[in-house]
């Protein structure tokens, strides 16, 4: 085990340009911890927001971004059972993933299913657990129901498309370019539409025989969220997943009352922390899905650790279809 390792450090809250590659000292393990040689780190929109100090979790610089990793166990604290040196794992924390090494408590690590590569494992769990918690636990999406997935070409959106198709739902996804809409269809959507279309709500209504969709999955927010409420059915479920647009919508309460739909907020990670039994059920379901090859991530961009700022820039430009990953082998 090396006593030093390289990491992409955010030195100021000024976005991707603040990322510097620095040599870090390896800290000794504490009780309950694992040391992981990171093979790949997945990028998430919160990584970009944290680099600007705009996420709800606001670490002070200097800090290492990176919420999701996959890698190999290289050291195990004496009190840890269930893991051994050489084990392939996926896991994560509130940061520290953009590095050649990371220390995780054992409860933050999960065996990497053989069906997933290191790069896939680094991009899989966060999106998959969000899609699962939203569509299964919160919306109870059923076979034959219709779901409108906003931002369907993003990492979370793609996972939701694939899960909804697996459930047997009719999937309508939105994507802002022809390339993104093709990818959405290839992921399993029944229809794909342009979110900038002024007739978007009417077209969704037309595709659903005038009824509207049973479920809206919204990681985007902004004006598109209000448009989507006009496309929801009587008694529908509106899932508030996030605000990738940067704008938090103000939903008209009278409209929800008149149409009888529910606004449902969700935080998959926090729900798992507060409900250990839910976490266990979700973990088992997700591992089963991974073994079946369901929701394998679409990775459109791969970067070396030295290119971490470029990886964040691509995310910021919204040029990513599916996921972007830092591959430590490059």
- pLDDT per residue over 255-266, tens digit each? 999 999 999 999
Whether residue 176 lies inside any domain: the answer is yes
> Residue 72 and residue 147: Cα distance in Å, rounded?
38
The CATH number of residue 89's host domain is 3.90.180.10
**216 and 184 fall within a common domain:** yes
- pLDDT per residue over 304-316, tens digit each? 999 999 999 999 9
Q: Residue 238 pLDDT > 70, yes or no? A: yes
**236 and 312 fall within a common domain:** no
The last residue of a domain, from among 254, 269, 284: 269
**163 and 67 fall within a common domain:** no
Q: What's the token pair of residue 32? A: 């309950």
- pLDDT per residue over 6-19, tens digit each? 999 999 999 999 99
Are 176 and 182 in contact, with CB atoms under 8 Å apart? no
Whether residue 276 lies inside any domain: the answer is no
The last residue of a domain, from among 229, 251, 269: 269
| Residue 312 structural domain | 4-115+297-327
**252 and 192 fall within a common domain:** yes
Tell me the whole-structure pTM to 2 decimals. Answer: 0.87
Total domain count, the chain? 2
**137 and 238 fall within a common domain:** yes
Dihedral of the alpha carbons of 140, 287, 218, 168, in degrees to the nearest 10: -50
Give the pLDDT score at 294: 82
Give the pLDDT score at 260: 97
- pLDDT per residue over 30-77, tens digit each? 999 999 999 999 999 889 999 999 887 889 999 999 999 999 999 999
**252 and 132 fall within a common domain:** yes
Whether residue 121 lies inside any domain: the answer is no
**166 and 257 fall within a common domain:** yes
Q: Is 250 exposed, middle or buried (0-12, 13-18, 19+ CB in 10 A)?
A: exposed
**93 and 189 fall within a common domain:** no
Give the pLDDT score at 1: 66
Are 107 and 235 in contact, with CB atoms under 8 Å apart? no
Q: Percent helix, strand and coil across the chain, each rounded to 5?
A: 35, 30, 40
The CATH number of residue 167's host domain is 3.40.50.720
**111 and 138 fall within a common domain:** no
Q: How far, CA to CA in Å, does 269 sit from each of 94, 134, 212, 290, 314?
A: 11, 12, 30, 18, 25
Q: Is 230 exposed, middle or buried (0-12, 13-18, 19+ CB in 10 A)?
A: middle
């Amino acid at each position: 085990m090396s006593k030093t390792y390289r990491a992409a450090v955010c030195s100021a809250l000024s976005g991707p340009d603040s990322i510097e590659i620095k040599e870090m000292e390896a800290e000794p393990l504490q009780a309950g911890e694992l040391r992981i040689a990171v093979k790949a780190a997945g990028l998430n929109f919160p990584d970009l927001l944290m680099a600007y100090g705009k996420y709800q979790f606001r670490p002070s610089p200097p800090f290492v971004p990176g919420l999701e990793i996959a890698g190999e166990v290289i050291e195990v604290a004496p009190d840890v059972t269930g893991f051994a040196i050489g084990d392939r794992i996926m896991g994560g924390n509130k940061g520290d993933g953009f590095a050649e090494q990371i220390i995780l408590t054992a409860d933050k690590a999960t065996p990497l299913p053989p069906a997933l590569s290191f790069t896939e494992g680094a991009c899989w769990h966060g999106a998959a657990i969000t899609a699962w918690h939203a569509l299964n636990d919160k919306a109870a999406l059923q076979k034959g129901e219709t779901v409108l997935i906003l931002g369907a070409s993003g990492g979370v959106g793609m996972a939701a498309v694939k899960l909804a198709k697996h459930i047997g739902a009719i999937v309508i996804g939105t994507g802002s370019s022809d390339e993104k809409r093709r990818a959405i269809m290839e992921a399993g959507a029944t229809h794909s539409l342009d979110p900038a279309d002024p007739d978007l709500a009417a077209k969704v209504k037309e595709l659903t025989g005038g009824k509207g969709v049973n479920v809206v999955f919204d990681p985007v927010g902004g004006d598109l969220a209000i448009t989507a409420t006009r496309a929801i059915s009587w008694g529908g479920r509106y899932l508030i997943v996030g605000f990738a647009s940067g704008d938090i919508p103000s939903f008209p309460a009278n409209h929800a009352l008149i149409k009888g739909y529910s606004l449902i907020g969700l935080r998959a990670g926090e729900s798992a922390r507060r409900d250990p039994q839910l976490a266990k059920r979700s973990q088992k379901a997700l591992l089963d899905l991974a073994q079946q090859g369901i929701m394998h991530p679409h990775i459109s961009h791969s970067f070396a650790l030295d290119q971490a700022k470029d990886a964040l820039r691509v995310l910021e430009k919204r040029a990513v279809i599916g996921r972007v990953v830092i591959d430590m082998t490059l």
